[in-house]
Structure 1
Amino acid sequence: MVSLSWLLWSLIALFFYSLMPPLVKSAMRVIPSYVAVTVTNAILVLTAFLVAEAQGYRFQEHLSLSRPSLMLYAAGLVLAVAIIAYYRALELGAISSVVPIYGMHLALSSLWGFLLMGERPTPLKLLGLLFALLAILLLSRP
């Protein structure tokens, strides 16, 4: 039997992440994007740390100068650029235009999976990527 726990976690992420742009956009009517991204991500870091600790993970056991750790550090830097840029875009633009363009990272990540991670692109997945691109183009128009 296939475990669907990934699906449940994906749906939880979908629901809660969909609430973030309107909350952030509302706050950024008064609070600058660089302050907003710092506060929200400080809360994220603290929460993730507490959850990891509660699950029994010890950070020092997993972090070093090994290839997996270096990839993790690089991912952190890339994520920092992406999230800071996303918040700035939300501050300057309409949610209905910014979020679809930002959301295209999902399709682009799938493409990276095919090109860099050896995942198999089926015709159905490629068609899905095409539809995702078309949806983003339609949704992001002013």
Structure 2
Amino acid sequence: MTSFPAWAIWALLSAVFAALTAVLAKVGVQGISADYATLVRTVVILCVLALLVPLSGQWVDPRSLPARSLLFLALSGLATGASWLCYYRALQLGEVAQVAPVDKLSVVLAALFAMAFLGERPSPREWLGLALVGGGVLVLAWRR
């Protein structure tokens, strides 16, 4: 029997937690602004990571990090924040079953951005999977 690679297990756990995020957030944004809900979520994440990183021995002096890494992590943080703000606003306006599939279009976009900016080249099998994901998003998002 073939075992899953470590990255696949972590990616599957990410998907499970992302699914929980959508359902829990839908309930959480009721009666408050989407932006404030995003702030609360961010503070919780900050507190958890502020405990986890030092306790797991992963803390390093930020001044020792390469400037390029800090720049791209900062840009990634801005993109994450924008994504979360948009996601919570979408959850306020739509149903989880509508919002979550469209959000997963990020799978296809990430592959396209990786091609354009990182030089990655998906295999034919990966292209098929990306096409299926994209098609699935369209099927789930399309309403009569």
Length-normalised TM-score, structure 2:
0.87
SS in structure 1 at match of 2:16: helix
Gaps of 5+ in 1: none
Tell me, yes or no, if the aligned pair for 1:104 and 1:133 is still in contact at 8 Å: yes
Cα distance change, pair 26–61 in 1 and its aligned pair in 2 (3 A): closer
Gaps of 5+ in 2: none
**Identity over aligned pairs, percent:** 27
Cα distance change, pair 129–56 in 1 and its aligned pair in 2 (3 A): same
Cα distance change, pair 50–115 in 1 and its aligned pair in 2 (3 A): same
Partner of residue 86, structure 1: 87
Cα distance change, pair 28–123 in 1 and its aligned pair in 2 (3 A): same
1:1-142 map, 5 Å: 4-61=5-62, 66-142=67-143
Q: Distance in 2 between matches of 1:21 and 1:100?
A: 11
How many residue pairs get matched? 142
The Cα offsets for residues 51-105 of structure 1, whole Å up to 9 and x where unpaired, read as: 1111212242466571111111111111111111111111111211111111111
Q: Distance in 2 between matches of 1:20 and 1:54?
A: 25
Q: Distance in 2 between matches of 1:133 and 1:9?
A: 23
**1:29 offset after TM fit, Å?**
2.0
Q: Distance in 1 between matches of 2:63 and 2:8?
A: 26
Deviates more, 1:13-22 or 1:26-35: 26-35
Letter in 1 for 2:98: S
Tell me, yes or no, if the aligned pair for 1:89 and 1:98 is still in contact at 8 Å: yes
Q: Would you identify which runs of 4 or more consecutive aligned residues in structure 1 move more than 6 Å?
A: none
Letter in 2 for 1:4: P
Cα distance change, pair 59–81 in 1 and its aligned pair in 2 (3 A): farther
Q: Distance in 1 between matches of 2:103 and 2:114?
A: 18
Q: Distance in 2 between matches of 1:110 and 1:139?
A: 20
Q: Distance in 1 between matches of 2:12 and 2:50?
A: 22
Length-normalised TM-score, structure 1:
0.89
Q: Distance in 2 between matches of 1:63 and 1:72?
A: 14
Q: Distance in 1 between matches of 2:80 and 2:22?
A: 17
Cα distance change, pair 63–31 in 1 and its aligned pair in 2 (3 A): farther
